[in-house]
Amino acid sequence: EIVMTQSPAILSVSPGERATLSCRASQSLSSNLAWYQQKPGQAPRLLIYGASTRATGIPARFSGSGSGTEYTLTISSLQSEDFAVYYCQQYNNWPALTFGGGTKVEIK
Amino acid sequence: EVQLLESGGGLVQPGGSLRLSCAASGLTFNTYAMSWVRQAPGKGLEWVSSISASGVGTYYADSVKGRFTISRDNSKDTVYVQMNSLGAEDTAVYYCAKGRDWFDPWGQGTLVTVSS
């Protein structure tokens, strides 16, 4: 099983600031990585797949990067609606899909 | 717009069974793989099971293999998961989602509580 480790667990950011979330895999993913956003009481929403491709309707302030075992989700200028929990998920070792433990982005 | 609507959740005793359904609309259902992902209260996301577009291929997490069965009825645009031998560790919100690599979109989820 590929273990996904997200850091930090909690990220405190002021509105308008940049947020950088990290996701590390226990083995190389060949960019087979997705990012999701989940707000309280809601289902997750796909943000990024293929490590860097934004899903339909996702604002350009969300960007994904990385390769191998290290990946990053960057939110360039945090809006109020961006405060949420973010999860990474690997699909390189299909069908043994695994998620990271999540990063909560909270208002500083 | 693709919409997924789960149903069938509820309270079940340990060792019991439950069948969840997910009705899809707004897509050509029989061309997409479908999946179930669960989230225990206050916890992260866990992939549970996926099924190919035709229904021939089925895949399971080790934690549910042998207890859960995924299926689909392409004439009804619906995917199911039959859950047997349920334990407290299966208590979670169960989400239906389109796709087998990444998941998009997700349904609103249905809560399964396993308790005596």
| Chain A CB contacts of B105 below 8 Å | 43, 45-46
CB-CB under 8 Å, A97 with B95: no
Q: What's chain A's length in residues? A: 108
Inter-CA distances, B92 with A61, A89, B10, B114, Å: 32, 19, 10, 9
The candidate with the shortest Cα–Cα distance to A20, out of A80, A64, A81, A58, is A64
Residues B36, B70 contacting (CB under 8 angstroms)? yes
What integer pLDDT is reported at residue A1 of this predicted model? 94
Amino acid symbol at B102: W
| Chain B residues bordering chain A (beta-carbon distance below 8 Å) | 37, 44-47, 50, 59-61, 95, 100-109
pLDDT band of B106, cuts 50, 70, 90: very high
Cβ-based neighbours of A106, under 8 Å, separated by 6 or more: A10, A11, A12, A13, A83
Quick one: DSSP state of residue B106? B
Residue A99 and residue B44: Cβ atoms within 8 Å?
yes
**Dihedrals phi, psi of A103, to nearest 5 degrees:** -125, 125
Contact B90, B36 (CB under 8 A): no
Q: Is A49 on the interface with B (CB under 8 A)?
A: yes
- What is the pLDDT, as a whole number, of residue B116? 96
Average pLDDT over residues B71-93: 98
Residues 6+ apart with CB under 8 A from A25: A2, A3, A4, A5, A33, A69, A70, A71, A90, A92
Which residues on B lie below 8 Å from A4 (Cβ)? Answer: none
| pLDDT given at position A10 | 98
The pLDDT-based confidence of B25 (bands split at 50, 70, 90) is very high
Task: Give the strand pairing for A85-90 and A33-38.
Answer: antiparallel
Two tokens, residue B57: 């291929």
pLDDT-based confidence at B24, cuts 50/70/90? very high
pLDDT the model gives residue B115? 97
CA distances A31 to A25, A65, A103, B1, B87, Å, are 11, 9, 20, 28, 35
Is the CB of A102 inside 8 Å of chain B's CB atoms?
Answer: yes
User: Collapsing DSSP states into helix, strand and coil, what is residue B73?
Assistant: strand
Predicted confidence at residue B95, as pLDDT, reads 98
Contact in structure between B5 and B27 (CB atoms under 8 Å): no
Give the mean pLDDT of chain A.
97
pLDDT tens digits in sequence order for chain A, 108 residues long: 999 999 999 999 999 999 999 999 999 999 999 999 999 999 999 999 999 999 999 999 999 999 999 999 999 999 999 999 999 999 999 999 999 999 999 998
| Partners of residue B108 in chain A, C-beta under 8 Å | 42-43
Say if residue A44 is preceded by a cis peptide, omega within 30 of 0.
no
Q: What is the mean pLDDT of chain B?
A: 98
Residue that has been written with the tokens 């809560």 in this structure: B111
Whether A95 sits inside 8 A of B95 (CB atoms) is no
Contacts of A29 (CB under 8 A, 6+ apart): A2, A51, A68, A69, A71, A90, A92
B47: nearest CA partner in chain A: A97
DSSP class of A26: S
Decide if B106 and A89 are in contact by the 8 Å CB cutoff.
no
